[in-house]
Amino acid sequence: MQIRRLAAIMFIICGLVFSGCKTCMDSNGGPARTQSAGEASASLAPENFKEERLAEAMRGLRYDSEGVEVDESMAAQIPNRGDADAAEEAYLQGREMLFQVNDRVAAISAFTRAVILIPDVPRYYAGLGQALRYKGKMQEALAAFRTALALDPEYFEARRQFAVAVQMTGKYEEALSAWERVIDLDPEFGEAHGRLAILSYYMADYIEAWQHVHRAERLEYDLPSQFRSLLEAKMPEPAHFAAGKGL
């Protein structure tokens, strides 16, 4: 009796041992290789990798002020400082990465390099700002556009990109002012009038909204299809605007 009990106990123990060991076997019945700490972290790495790649792409510039500044401690490691040809090549590479390859991080990296190599070319900052905006780095994008405009206040594309970025932040009064500055450079720019129509609507300035609607339409800028009806619900179209007056 005792022998049978002992045998039963041993059978149970062996079953537990072997069932536990199955988790330690690979598909060939050999001992499975345990996952290292590095491999375990690698399985969680995609988001961290993206963040690190973006941080690396932005390395060498500081965005902690109203504009962009070269971080000399980091930028000193980059060869060819002052090489205009190398800077232009980096700028063109950034445009290719942004508009053809659609790799925004690679574009940021290339524009960053262009800025570091030659830090006084406005279009390098405009390209950088656009890549940053597409990546969702709005404050950094605004800093880049501000730097471009500090170097050339009449740089139209930087002025336009700055206005787009400000409007995307939801700061309507600042966006209104930014688009008015665009019109100062080009009074016949249809997009600016279209944007001002929408901003004026959000700010309940419906007369101004109608004014810009007519200017945008005269310049053949396509407003959102439902915008006129939304504006009419707030304020019927003034008769003198409908008659083509007051423009």
Per-residue DSSP letter, 80: S
Distances (CA, A) of 94 to 100, 108, 161: 10, 7, 17
Cα separation, 216 vs 236, whole angstroms: 18
Q: Residue 80: pLDDT band by 50, 70, 90 thresholds?
A: confident
This prediction has a pTM of: 0.78
Does the pLDDT value for residue 187 go beyond 80?
yes
Closest CA to 212 of 196, 232, 201: 196
**Is residue 192 a contact partner of residue 223, using CB atoms and an 8 Å limit?**
no
Question: Alpha-carbon distance 93 to 97, whole Å?
Answer: 6
Domains of the chain listed by start with CATH number: 57-152 (1.25.40.10)
Instruction: Find the mean pLDDT for residues 7-28.
Output: 39
pLDDT tens string 105-154: 999 999 999 999 999 999 999 999 999 999 999 999 999 999 999 999 99
Angle between helices 122-134 and 104-117 (to 10 degrees): 160
User: What does the CA dihedral 95, 101, 106, 110 come to, rounded to 10 degrees?
Assistant: -20
Cβ(227)–Cβ(198) below 8 Å: yes
Give the model's confidence band at 78: pLDDT under 50 very low, under 70 low, under 90 confident, else very high.
confident
**H helices, E strands: number in the chain:** 14, 2
Dihedral-angle region of residue 80 (phi above 0 means left; psi in -120 to 50 means alpha; beta otherwise): left
Q: What is the average per-residue pLDDT within 209-222?
A: 96
